[in-house]
Amino acid sequence: MSNKMHVNLNVNGEDHEFLAEPRELLIYALREKLNITGPHVGCETSHCGACTVTMNGKSVKSCTVFVAQANGAHVTTIEGLGNPDALHVLQENFKEHHGLQCGYCTPGMITRAAKLLEENPNPTEADVRFGIAGNICRCTGYQNIVKSILSAASEMNAAKEAAQ
């Protein structure tokens, strides 16, 4: 029953192939097989969103996807958005507006926010709050997360306008 299967995943633009049991959850494949440890595990009931990654263009909770299901998928994690030398606009703004404290929800929160802004580049505060409702934070009280995302949105829009 515990037959392993070949799994192909493209994570942050890089192809990976490894053996895994079908039941292995995507979050564990990322963290333990590929050492991509930004996405976190905060619950076992699919509520907290700390494990959020982008899979084939959708924000998903990688704790609720079997690695077998994800076979062949394109995945983006927080590590694929930016790095300490070249922060993503969202990462920059979470830093600037104190959108994190312990940092445990942050990778999932920012990955989700990136997708939200891609779908809705001009969100209202209510849109942002509703759009990140699948991500729980224990530290910030959300206010500064909302600020960070709104500020990132206007910076991204300004950059887009400047480029046109």
Task: By CB under 8 A, name the binding residues for other proteins.
Answer: 1-3, 5, 21-23, 25, 41, 44-47, 49, 52, 58-61, 63-66, 68-69, 71, 112, 116, 131-134
Report in angstroms how near the CB of residue 91 gets to other proteins at its nearest: 20
Q: Residues 6 or more apart from 11 whose CB is under 8 A from it?
A: 30, 34, 36, 75, 76, 77, 80
Nearer CB in complex with other proteins: 3/35: 3
CB contact set of 156 (below 8 Å; sequence gap of 6+): 89, 117, 121
Q: Which residue number, 30 or 132, has a Cβ lying nearer to other proteins?
A: 132
Q: Based on CB atoms, which residue is closest to other proteins, 10 or 71?
A: 71
26 φψ region: left (φ > 0), alpha (ψ -120 to 50), beta (else): alpha
Angle of helix 143-163 relative to helix 89-96, nearest 10 degrees, comes to 140
**Least Å distance between CB 43 and other proteins?**
9
Rounded to a whole number of angstroms, the minimum distance from the CB of residue 116 to other proteins is 7
- 17 or 161: CB nearest other proteins: 17
Least distance from C-beta 132 to other proteins, angstroms? Answer: 8
DSSP, res 138: S
CA distance 14 to 11: 5
Can you read off the two tokens belonging to residue 108?
A: 């999932």
